[in-house]
Amino acid sequence: MKTHIVQIIIAAIQAAKDAPEWFLLFKEGWTEIEGEGSYLVDREAYDAVVAMFTRRGNDLVIDYEHSTVTGEKAPAAGWIPEFRYIDGRGIEAKVSWTEEAAGYVSKNEYRYFSPVFYVRKSDKRLVGVHSVALTNAPKTNNLTPILAKLGEAFNEKEDTDMDFLKKLIAKLGLNPETTEDQVIEAVGAIQAKNSDLENQVAAKPAQVEVVAKDVIEALELKEGDAVSTVVASIHALKQGTKGMVTKAEFDNLQKQIRERDAAEIVAKAMAEGKVTPDQKDWAEKYAERDLDGFKTFVAKAPVVIPMDKLPAKETKADDVIADEAVLNVAKMFGNTTEDIKKFGGLTA
């Protein structure tokens, strides 16, 4: 049986109380009902129990001797508001006991309980709970008592009990010869210490606030710095992230800058006659991929298009003369079309 240390401590703390807050209601696996066969409890059963409990929306009553079922006067001994499942153990119920019932349980006057529950015929699996009764004559065989001793909280076999007790003794750092009662006393001392700490927190929270060492180191603070300093440091970090861009946004911005720079230097190279028009796409891709490399290429490349020897666009006289606006201006100054041809430097 796998038993987590947290479960061990829970069981030990419960054993030290007068009446347990949690107790084992249904043991994991197959359980025998005297003269009525067996039923199965597992995770699926737990889910079914919780589903029914949630649908009903009412706390489950714990009464005395099944008085809720028999129809007699049925004062509550307690109420179950919650269930939980622990692997290797089963379904536990959380209880809010009445003062009278808590006294009965703590004095061992009521040692056992008897649930009224539903079993599915097809697979004999537990599927719901109607109520629970305090009784000293349960029909369930090998039932774990409400106020179980340390070993009983997990397994009734003597060797398992002793193994559990040894583990708990070792975990608490006690002498291997420590008795069960001494273990309970030690757990009680731990409870008392925890209660004192809780009271200190309630009375003077600022003096007992503790910040994890890892958090202190991550924020580059000093051990002993006040919690307000830690909170302020965290807010400062959050403030520093405002206005930041994502990696995708940054990458896109970088791409736009590369494209702009590439276009500019390629245009300059073409103006210098070092890149021909049909090389433009190649040159821009080259510059986007390796701007410094392309700059080196431009610096070393010869001029392939002599820009100063390119033929200028020829202006025809007839084109100018045909322009009505030009003619109107010429007439205002007393010039003729022949004057335009003669003095305008135009070709025929």
Judge whether 185 lies within some domain: no
Which DSSP string do the residues of 164-175 spell out, in sequence order? Answer: HHHHHHHHTT--
Please state whether beta strands 29-33 and 37-41 pair in parallel, antiparallel, or not at all (unpaired). antiparallel
User: Both 130 and 39 in a single domain?
Assistant: yes
Residue 64 has pLDDT above 70, yes or no: yes
User: Both 95 and 119 in a single domain?
Assistant: yes
Q: Summarize pLDDT for 200-238 with one digit per residue, the tens.
A: 656 655 444 455 676 777 767 777 777 777 777 776 666
Judge whether 85 lies within some domain: yes
Q: N- to C-terminal Cα distance for the chain?
A: 112
Count CB atoms within 10 A of the CB of residue 70: 11
User: Both 127 and 114 in a single domain?
Assistant: yes
Task: Domain of residue 342: give its range.
Answer: 311-348
User: Both 121 and 32 in a single domain?
Assistant: yes
Please choose, from the candidates 127, 131, 4, 123, the residue with its C-alpha nearest in 3D space to the C-alpha of residue 65. Answer: 131
* Contact criterion met (CB below 8 Å) for 322 and 291: no
Judge whether 290 lies within some domain: yes
- pLDDT reported for residue 156: 46
pTM of the model: 0.43
Largest CA distance in the chain: 136
Residue 299 has pLDDT above 60, yes or no: yes
User: Both 262 and 326 in a single domain?
Assistant: no
Q: Compute the Cα dihedral for 216, 222, 227, 229 and give only its sign.
A: negative
Q: How far apart are CA 193 and CA 205, in angstroms?
A: 17
User: Both 303 and 319 in a single domain?
Assistant: no
User: Both 72 and 91 in a single domain?
Assistant: yes
Count CB atoms within 10 A of the CB of residue 193: 10
pLDDT band of 112, cuts 50, 70, 90: very high
Higher pLDDT, 83 or 68: 83
Q: Summarize pLDDT for 17-55 with one digit per residue, the tens.
A: 568 899 999 999 999 999 889 999 999 999 999 999 999
* Contact criterion met (CB below 8 Å) for 81 and 94: yes
Please choose, from the candidates 21, 38, 10, the residue with its C-alpha nearest in 3D space to the C-alpha of residue 142. Answer: 38
Judge whether 157 lies within some domain: no
Domain count within the chain: 4
- pLDDT reported for residue 305: 74
User: Both 77 and 92 in a single domain?
Assistant: yes
- pLDDT reported for residue 129: 96
Which DSSP string do the residues of 230-295 spell out, in sequence order? Answer: HHHHHHHHHHHTTT---HHHHHHHHHHHHHHHHHHHHHHHHHTTSS-GGGHHHHHHHHHH-HHHHH
